[in-house]
Amino acid sequence: MRVTKQTSGGVLEGDLTPMIDMTFQLIAFFMVLINFTQSEQHEKIQLPDSELAKPPEGPVEFPITIHLTTEGNAIIGGNEIPIAALNPFLVKERQVLMSQNKLSKDATIVIRAHKEAQTGRVQELIQKCQDNTFEKFALRAKEDVGNNP
């Protein structure tokens, strides 16, 4: 391929303005879309789908998120433990609530169970929380985008 050399002695400068415009727009796009709410999620958990699953209109007051794996282990605060060993963690959550002059019935236990987990395990988890006087539960599901009939 033949490369034409500069005919005049001056330096040729490319116009960078469109590239910078586009790059800044891309950055703005990603900055707006980035979310930091992934702390509630866990890579081992695949939620079941539901066409009615919509984000709540307001934030849940005092949510306590517990994941449940297919093996039937609970994940709370990054610790994967058997359901039977949940008591110390739930007691700690109760103490946090008490320090804020709240009762355990004011908190909502958000259960993020894997879609292939056994229902009996979910009920065991609920029962364990009930033993620690928690009453309100929220079963989390993923929004079904409508591929299923």
Partner 1 sequence: MKVRNQNEEGEKIELQMTPMIDIVFQLLVFFIMTFKIVSQEGDFNIKMPLVAPAAGTPDDLQLPPMQVRLRAGTSGQLAAVTLNDKTFAIPGWEEALRLDIIGVIGDERGPGSIQETAEVELDCDYGLRYEHVIQAISAVSGYRDDAGNIVKLVEKVKFAPPRQAGE
Q: Which residues bind partner 1 (CB under 8 A)?
A: 16, 20, 23-24, 26-27, 30-31, 33-35, 38, 41, 47-56, 60, 68, 108, 110, 113-120, 122-124, 126-127, 130-131, 133, 135-143, 145
Instruction: Choose between 2 and 38: whose C-beta lies nearer to partner 1.
Output: 38
Q: How far apart, in whole angstroms, are the C-alpha atoms of residue 78 and residue 71? A: 16
Instruction: List Cα–Cα distances, 53 to 11, 59, 76, 116, in angstroms.
Output: 60, 15, 23, 18
Instruction: List Cα–Cα distances, 26 to 19, 29, 30, 31, 86, in angstroms.
Output: 11, 5, 6, 9, 45
Query: Bridge partners of 34?
Result: none
CB of 8 to partner 1, least distance (A): 17
CB of 133 to partner 1, least distance (A): 7
Residue located via tokens 């908190």: 107
CB of 62 to partner 1, least distance (A): 14
Instruction: Choose between 31 and 84: whose C-beta lies nearer to partner 1.
Output: 31
Residue located via tokens 């929004």: 143
CB of 2 to partner 1, least distance (A): 29
